[in-house]
C-alpha cells in the first residue's frame, strides 16, 4: 500500500514538472495539441539527441516560439516541417521522409522480416528433405545398389 | 557451396565494420546545409550602429562577400576575430550578422578588437538567424554576385579552412564578376 502511494505521488510530481516547462498560450486549444506533437517530432539542431520539447538551448527556445507563431498564422503541420527543413535541412525531422537516402532505412524492418522468414523456411524444408521417410529407405538408388553388389561380391571372394 | 555460405556472416560483419569505421571520421555536429545553392534570404533589419538605417540584401550590391554570424557571447568568435581582420585587410568583403546580442557590448567589441565588417546587420531576435538555419555562432556564408549562397561554414574560419575550402571558391567567384 505504501509503495502504491509512493508511485501515485511520484506520478503526480512528474506531471507537475512537465506542466511547469510548457507555458505556451494559444488562441485555440487544438493548436496546443499540434504544437506538442510538432515539438516532440522536431529535433534540436544544436543538441543533436534532443527534440525541441526537451531541449533548453536558446536555439530550441527560438524554434519553439517560431513553431507557435507559424501555428497561429494558420500553417499546416506539413508546411511547418517544410519551413524548418528548408532552413535546417532534413536533420531537423526526427521522423525522416521517405526519399532516395532514407528508403533503405524505412524498408529495413520489412527486409529483415522477409530474410528471417526465408531462413526459417529454408531450415524447415531442408530438414524435411534430408529426413527421408522410413518406407523409402529400402529403395536404393541404382548406383548404391551397384556398390552394394560389388561389396557383397568382394566379400564372397574372400 | 555450403562452405562458402558459412562465410556470409563474417562478410556481413566486415562490411558493417567498414561502414562504421568510415563514420568515425564524420563530425556529427556538422549538419548538411539546406541553403547552399539557394538565394540569401530576404531581410530588413537595422544596422548595429542604430535603428535609423535599415539594411537588406540589396545592400550586398552584387558583390562577392562573406556573411559572418557573430556575437559577443560566442566564445569561438573571439578566436576567429583576428582571422576576419586579416581577411578584411586583404580586401575580402565581410558583412557582419550580429546575432542575438546587446548593441552596446557589440559596439565595444568592435572598438576593442577592430572592425573587419563593411557593415553589421543587427539581428536581436534571431529572425534572420532562423531563416539562415543558424544553430551556433560563428557561422560564415559565402554569397556570390547574384546573391546565391555558395558555401557555408559552421564554426571558426581559420587559416586552414580558408586555404582549403574558401579561398579558391572566393577567387573564382570574384574572378567571374570582373
> Does the pLDDT of residue B109 top 70, yes or no?
yes
Whether the predicted pLDDT of A142 surpasses 90: no
Distance from the Cα of A118 to chain B's closest Cα (Å) equals: 15
CA closest to A45 among chain B residues: B135
- Contact yes or no for B34 and A87 at CB 8 A: yes
Using an 8 Å Cβ cutoff, are B118 and B92 in contact? no
- pLDDT tens track for B18-59: 999 988 887 777 777 788 889 999 999 999 988 888 999 889
Among A48, A62, A89, beta carbon nearest to B130? A62
Q: Which residues contact A119 (CB under 8 A, 6 or more apart)?
A: none
A86/chain B closest Cα distance in angstroms? 6
Chain B CA closest to residue A86: B34
Contacts of B28 in chain A (CB under 8 A): 48
Which string of DSSP letters, residue by residue, matches A45-91?
TTTSSSBTTT--SHHHHHHHHHHHHHHHTT--HHHHHHHHHHHH-GG
Pull the grid cell for residue B5.
555460405
Mean pLDDT of A64-91: 90
ipTM value for the complex:
0.77
Order across the sheet with B120-123: list the strands: B50-56, B44-47, B120-123, B94-99, B65-70, B139-143, B149-154
Using 50, 70 and 90 to split pLDDT, how confident is the model at B119? very high
Mutate to test the interface with B, among A52, A85, A88, A97 (most CBs of B within 10 A): A88
pLDDT exceeds 70 at position B1: no
Residues of chain B neighbouring A58 (CB-CB closer than 8 A): 100
Instruction: Give the model's confidence band at A109: pLDDT under 50 very low, under 70 low, under 90 confident, else very high.
Output: very high
Mean pLDDT of A110-115: 95
Whether chain B has a CB inside 8 Å of the CB on A62: the answer is yes
Residues 6 or more apart in contact with residue A97 via CB below 8 angstroms: A90
B47/A13: higher pLDDT: B47
Amino acid at each position: 500500500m505504501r509503495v502504491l502511494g509512493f508511485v501515485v505521488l511520484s506520478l503526480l510530481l512528474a506531471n507537475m514538472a512537465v506542466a511547469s516547462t510548457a507555458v505556451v498560450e494559444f488562441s485555440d486549444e487544438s493548436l496546443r495539441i499540434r504544437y506538442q506533437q510538432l515539438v516532440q517530432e522536431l529535433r534540436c539542431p544544436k543538441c543533436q539527441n534532443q527534440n525541441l520539447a526537451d531541449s533548453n538551448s536558446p536555439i530550441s527556445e527560438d524554434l519553439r516560439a517560431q513553431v507557435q507563431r507559424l501555428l497561429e498564422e494558420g500553417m499546416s503541420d506539413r508546411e511547418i516541417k517544410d519551413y524548418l527543413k528548408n532552413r535546417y535541412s532534413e536533420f531537423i525531422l526526427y521522423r525522416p521522409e521517405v526519399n532516395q537516402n532514407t528508403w533503405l532505412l524505412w524498408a529495413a524492418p520489412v527486409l529483415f522480416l522477409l530474410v528471417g522468414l526465408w531462413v526459417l523456411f529454408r531450415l524447415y524444408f531442408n530438414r524435411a528433405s534430408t529426413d527421408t521417410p522410413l518406407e523409402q529407405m529400402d529403395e536404393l538408388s541404382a548406383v548404391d545398389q551397384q556398390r552394394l553388389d560389388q561389396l557383397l561380391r568382394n566379400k564372397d571372394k574372400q | 557451396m555450403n562452405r562458402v555460405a558459412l562465410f556470409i556472416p563474417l562478410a556481413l560483419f566486415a562490411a558493417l565494420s567498414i561502414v562504421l569505421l568510415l563514420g568515425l571520421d564524420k563530425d556529427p555536429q556538422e549538419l548538411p546545409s539546406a541553403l547552399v545553392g539557394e538565394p540569401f534570404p530576404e531581410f530588413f533589419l537595422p544596422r548595429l550602429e542604430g535603428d535609423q538605417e535599415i539594411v537588406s540584401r540589396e545592400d550586398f550590391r552584387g558583390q562577392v562577400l562573406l556573411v559572418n554570424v557573430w556575437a559577443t557571447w560566442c566564445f569561438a568568435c573571439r578566436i576567429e576575430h583576428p582571422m576576419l581582420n586579416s581577411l578584411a585587410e586583404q580586401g575580402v568583403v565581410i558583412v557582419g550578422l550580429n546575432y542575438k546580442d546587446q548593441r552596446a557590448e557589440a559596439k565595444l567589441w568592435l572598438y576593442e578588437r577592430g572592425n573587419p565588417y563593411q557593415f553589421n546587420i543587427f539581428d536581436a531576435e534571431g529572425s534572420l538567424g532562423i531563416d539562415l538555419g543558424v544553430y551556433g555562432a560563428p557561422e560564415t556564408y559565402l554569397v556570390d554576385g547574384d546573391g546565391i549562397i555558395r558555401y557555408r561554414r559552421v564554426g571558426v574560419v581559420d587559416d586552414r579552412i580558408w586555404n582549403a575550402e574558401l579561398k579558391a571558391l572566393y577567387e573564382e567567384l570574384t574572378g567571374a564578376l570582373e
